[in-house]
């Protein structure tokens, strides 16, 4: 939609709390895990692209099938647990670290 569109005047902007999943109404604990999964998927995707690997090559490096890599690259975060994403990142040599804060 362009600013010249008359509907633009009817739009309102709501400031994000910093976690899109909380903004969408998910329970905070679940939203935090979902955000961690999404962030890790993006890092894995960036790494694969930086290597210029095909999905088949990436699959070999991660020990999964090419269709799983396809789901990963499409950011189907609901198909991957946080544990699995940490495992895949580790197989690629990506160091993951969990930091706790109060």
Q: Do residues 85 and 40 make contact, with C-beta atoms less than 8 angstroms apart?
A: yes
The CATH topology of domain 22-92 is 434 Repressor (Amino-terminal Domain) (1.10.260)
Q: What is the pLDDT of residues 24-55, one digit of tens each?
A: 899 999 999 999 999 999 999 999 999 999 99
Domain spans of the chain, in order of start: 22-92
Tell me the pTM: 0.79
Q: How far is CA 14 from CA 3, 8, 11, 85, 97, in A?
A: 18, 15, 10, 31, 32
List the alpha helices (DSSP H) in the chain: 20-23, 28-50, 55-62, 66-73, 82-92
Q: How far is CA 43 from CA 8, 37, 61, 88, in A?
A: 35, 10, 15, 11
| Bigger pLDDT: 93 vs 15 | 93
């Amino acid at each position: 939609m362009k600013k010249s569109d008359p509907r633009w005047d009817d739009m309102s902007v709501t400031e994000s709390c910093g976690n899109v999943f909380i903004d969408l109404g998910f329970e905070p604990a679940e939203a935090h895990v979902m955000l961690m999964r999404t962030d890790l998927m993006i890092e894995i995707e960036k790494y694969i692209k930086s290597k210029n690997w095909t999905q088949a090559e990436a699959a070999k490096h991660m020990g999964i099938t090419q269709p799983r890599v396809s789901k990963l690259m499409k950011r189907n975060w609901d198909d991957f647990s946080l544990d699995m994403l940490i495992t895949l990142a580790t197989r690629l040599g990506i160091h993951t670290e969990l930091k706790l804060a109060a």
